[in-house]
Amino acid sequence: MAITVVAAIIEDDAGLMLCAKRGDWKDSPNKWEFPGGKPKPGENLEAALKREIKEELGIEIKDLNLFDRSSTQVAEQEIDLACFSARLANSKPVSSTDHSELLWLKQTELSGLNWASPDVPAVKKLTMPYC
């Protein structure tokens, strides 16, 4: 059975996108991802994403729209990742409870990072026009 995970492709006013490096204490250590997490039982995807972003980054997001939903096999587990495009509702995050590094990159620069497997379909979709 797949694990459902939500992630936010957060864009700032300058068009830069937030990329988060997984800490070395996590699965897929030091790989890059769009921040997010797992919904709680009965929680809808958008509410889960807003909660996770608030918990991890201490910020609020708005204007959520489903951008990509893909399933990826990681070891023995299937990950169903729903990536939402989002905008900052307030200031940029300065740190993360789940990540060792945060970067703001142009869309054309995303493919230069070593992405976690579940995020790769969304990254490919974002960078396709630039390949």
- The reported pLDDT for the residue numbered 28 is 74
Per DSSP, the three-state class of 120 is helix
Please list, in sequence order, all residues whose beta carbon lies within 8 angstroms of the beta carbon of residue 40, skipping any fewer than 6 positions away: 48, 51
The predicted-structure confidence for 92-115, as pLDDT tens digits, reads as follows 998 998 899 999 999 999 999 999
Query: Can you tell me the distance from the alpha carbon of 10 to that of 61, in angstroms, rounded to the nearest whole number?
Result: 8
Give 129's pLDDT tier (boundaries 50, 70, 90).
Answer: low
Residue 62 has pLDDT above 70, yes or no: yes
Two tokens at 111?
Answer: 């493919």
Q: Are the beta carbons of 66 and 56 closer than 8 angstroms? A: no
pTM, 2 dp:
0.93
The predicted-structure confidence for 5-22, as pLDDT tens digits, reads as follows 999 999 999 999 999 999
> If you search the block for the tokens 């587990």, which residue do you land on?
77
H/E stretch holding 80 reads: strand 77-88
